[in-house]
Amino acid sequence: NAGVTQTPKFRVLKTGQSMTLLCAQDMNHEYMYWYRQDPGMGLRLIHYSVGEGTTAKGEVPDGYNVSRLKKQNFLLGLESAAPSQTSVYFCASSYPRDRGFSYEQYFGPGTRLTVT
Amino acid sequence: GQQVMQIPQYQHVQEGEDFTTYCNSSTTLSNIQWYKQRPGGHPVFLIQLVKSGEVKKQKRLTFQFGEAKKNSSLHITATQTTDVGTYFCAGSRASNTGKLIFGQGTTLQVKP
């Protein structure tokens, strides 16, 4: 199993450009999450999904959109990138429904995004 | 909103010394999790505590959950260079979303 994978690993955008970050998991997890990590701020939840076709806002959703069309994929979109969105983005998944109750989160390797 | 505060932000120790990081929530938690992130890496799950007053050990690591389920600590005995990284606590309130609120993390440096 690959676990949680993210593409791309690195990206540089100019202000106003758009992009989509892709997260994929092969663990049949129901729940998926997008976080951003900034120095001294820990991990902040952007959006999350509790199942295919459902999404919800987290702590810092402004400027981002998400979609979960397939259970294994969770996409994070930036419609008009701003320098304040320079960060490391992590995707995570949890809750293997067919293996009992566990909310531990499995993280992908991250995407380092710079907006100039 | 719910907040999880973690102290200290940084800790430098000599190899062999002990290390402790503390986590405090503004609200009662249903459970707390701990993660470790190595430099340049991603967070990796260490443990989950669910019961009031719970204590769990993993080799040199001891995790505690407070009686009021609002605070937690991670203690490492006799640190090694392999312990270097950032340790995060993450609290969860009772819900069916698995959402976690992460503390800011404590970055541990170990001098050999």
CB nearest A104 (choices: B9, B33, B101): B33
Distance of CA A41 to the CA centre of its chain: 17
CB nearest B97 (choices: A48, A92, A102): A48
Higher pLDDT, B103 or A2: B103
Long-range Cβ contact pairs of B55-58 (< 8 A, separation 24 or more): none
Maximum C-alpha span of chain A: 45
Cβ-Cβ contacts under 8 Å, B63 against chain A: none
Cβ-Cβ contacts under 8 Å, A56 against chain B: 97
CB nearest B97 (choices: A31, A40, A59): A31
Query: What is the structure's pLDDT at A82?
Result: 97
Query: What is the structure's pLDDT at B1?
Result: 61
User: What is the nearest CA distance from A27 to chain B, expressed in angstroms?
Assistant: 16
Are A87 and A36 in contact, with CB atoms under 8 Å apart? yes
pLDDT single digits (tens) A43-71: 999 999 999 999 999 999 999 999 999 99
Query: What is the structure's pLDDT at A41?
Result: 82
Query: What is the structure's pLDDT at A66?
Result: 98
Cβ-Cβ contacts under 8 Å, B6 against chain A: 42
